[in-house]
Amino acid sequence: MKKFAVAALVAALSTSAFAAQGDILARFRIANVNPETSVSGLIDSTYHVDVKDDTIPELDFTYMFTDNIGAELILGTSKHDITSSGSNIGSVKVLPPTLTVQYHFAPEGQFRPYVGAGINYTRFYGLSDNSGLGLSVKKNSFGPALQVGMDIPVTKNVFINFDVKKIWIKTDVHSSVAGSDVGTLEINPLVTSVGIGTKF
C-alpha cells in the first residue's frame, strides 16, 4: 500500500507539473547580481574602478511555444556601489530586461532542466558621483545573455526554481572635468537566483 501511495504521488506530480505548449510560467526569485568588472582607457590605468554586487528581487515570465521551447523575460533592477582603488566614489542603478529563448529538456520530469540564450537591453540611471570628476555614463547598452536553470515541482501548480545567467553589459564613461570620454566600463554580471514559480 505504501509503495502504491508513493508511486501515485510521484505520478501525480510528474503529470500535473507538466509545462505544456501554451503555458505561462511565472517566477519570483531572489537574485545576486555579481559583476565581473573590466575597464579600459584612463579609468583603468588611473582610477582602478570596480563595481560591487547587489542582491535583488526579480520577476520573470516564460511562455511555452511548445512542450520544450519557451521564451523568458526577466524584470529587475539593481544598484551597485562603484569604488576606485578601494574607496567608494559613487553608485549606479541598472535596469537590464533580458529576453532568452529556452530549451526545456524534460517538461514531464520531476527535475526540469533548461538552457537559454538571448539578448539584454540595459538602462543605466540614478548615477551618484562622489569622485569630483563629473562622471557620467552612456545610458543604453545591448548585449548577449546565456542561461541555465532547473524547475522542481512541489505541488500541482507550484515549483522551485534555480537559475544562473551570464549577462554582458558595457557603457562608455565620460568626465566633464576632463572634457572627454575616459574609458569603457564592462559589468558583465553573473546572476545567480533561487525562487518559487507557478503556471497558468
Sheet bearing 38-40, strands edge to edge: 38-40, 180-186, 170-175, 135-137
Q: What share of the chain is helix, strand, coil (3-state, %, to 5)?
A: 10, 65, 25
With beta carbons less than 8 A apart as the criterion, state whether 196 and 159 touch. Answer: yes
CB 52 within 8 A of CB 44: no
pLDDT of residue 127: 87
What's the Cα-to-Cα distance from 162 to each of 49, 56, 152, 198, rounded to whole Å? 31, 15, 9, 14
Residue 185 CA to its chain's centroid (Å): 19
Task: Please say whether the beta carbons of 163 and 155 come within 8 A.
Answer: no
The domain of 171 spans: 2-199
Cell of 69: 521551447
Contact between 3 and 10 (Cβ < 8 Å): no
Total domains in the chain come to 1
Burial of 194 (0-12, 13-18, 19+ CB in 10 A): middle
pLDDT in tens, 50-71: 899 999 999 999 999 999 999 9
Percent of the chain with pLDDT over 90: 56
Spatial contact of 70 and 39, defined as CB atoms under 8 Å apart: no
pLDDT tens string, the chain, 200 residues long: the values are 555 444 444 444 444 445 788 899 999 999 999 999 888 877 766 777 889 999 999 999 999 999 999 999 999 999 999 888 788 888 999 999 999 999 999 888 888 999 999 999 999 998 888 888 788 888 899 999 999 999 999 988 899 999 999 999 998 888 888 777 888 888 999 999 999 999 88
CATH number at residue 153: 2.40.160.20
Q: What's the CA angle centered on 196, arms 5 and 163, to 5 degrees?
A: 110
What is the C-alpha separation between 77 and 126, in angstroms, rounded? 11
Spatial separation of the C-alpha atoms in residues 143 and 94, rounded to whole Å: 14
pLDDT value at position 18? 59
List, for residues 119-140, the tens digit of each pLDDT value: 999 999 988 888 887 888 888 9
